[in-house]
């Protein structure tokens, strides 16, 4: 019996994914959790054949949970399924140990294919993602500024560009205001920008928000 664990903070999304999987794997045991903390706890309680996780969740996000999972259970396969386009998070997810990255937009067509491939011990990587991954391994000198940011810095950049204040960002990411301010300072230094307005303009120009 295949054991599948789905992590997403939207119940409608979880139900939809579960329905797609049940049609293909009628005998599978499929359970759901709604954030990264529950994902980690459930993974520690019992063995799973594959974990399917969103990135943007309250508390501990999908990438943070993925990194911790790979420390504790390096062989557990994780498929990241996200609303974010490949060019924003896919390479970050693969570097953190994901077995594949799939956008929610293509989930209805590709989810079963991705799960079958990962259960067979392979990685699920789209052709466009494979090209991006190759470029990143070649240390492309034309790397965009946001690609030099850490995962958390990238999260903060996107929230700043969305018009959130430092306090609001701290609440969303469960961080202190001081920590968020430190991330903002690092972002400005790495991107060689000086104001939130410049960061926002950059994010819009590069379709990050």
pLDDT digits (tens, 9 = 90+) for 147-187: 788 888 888 999 999 999 999 999 988 888 998 998 899 89
pLDDT at 173: 87
DSSP characters for 75-126?
T--EEEEESS-HHHHHHHHHHTT-SEEEEGGGHHHHHHHHHHHHHTT--B--
The distance in angstroms from the start CA to the end CA of the chain is 41
Percent of the chain with pLDDT over 90: 51
Whether this prediction's pTM lies above 0.85 is answered by: no
How does DSSP classify residue 150? -
Under 8 Å between Cβ of 196 and 168: no
pLDDT digits (tens, 9 = 90+) for 92-122: 888 889 999 988 888 788 899 999 999 999 9
pLDDT band at 190 (very low <50, low <70, confident <90, very high): confident
């Amino acid at each position: 019996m295949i054991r599948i664990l789905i992590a997403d903070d939207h119940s409608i999304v979880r139900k939809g994914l579960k329905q797609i999987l049940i049609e293909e794997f009628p005998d599978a045991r499929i359970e759901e959790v709604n954030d990264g903390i529950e994902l980690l706890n459930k993974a520690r309680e019992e063995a799973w054949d594959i974990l399917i996780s969103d990135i943007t969740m309250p508390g501990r996000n999908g990438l943070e949970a993925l990194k911790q999972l790979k420390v504790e259970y390096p062989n557990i396969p994780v498929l990241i399924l996200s609303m974010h386009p490949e060019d924003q998070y896919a390479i970050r997810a693969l570097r953190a140990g994901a077995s594949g990255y799939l956008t929610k937009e293509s989930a209805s067509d590709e989810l079963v294919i991705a799960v079958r491939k990962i259960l067979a011990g392979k990685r699920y990587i789209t052709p466009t993602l494979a090209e991006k991954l190759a470029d990143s391994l070649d240390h492309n000198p034309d790397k965009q500024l946001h690609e030099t940011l850490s995962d958390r810095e990238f999260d903060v950049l996107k929230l700043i560009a969305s018009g959130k204040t430092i306090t609001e960002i701290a609440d969303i990411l469960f961080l202190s205001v001081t920590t968020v301010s430190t991330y903002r300072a690092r972002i400005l230094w790495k991107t060689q920008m000086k104001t939130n307005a410049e960061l926002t303009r950059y994010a819009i120009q590069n379709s990050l928000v």
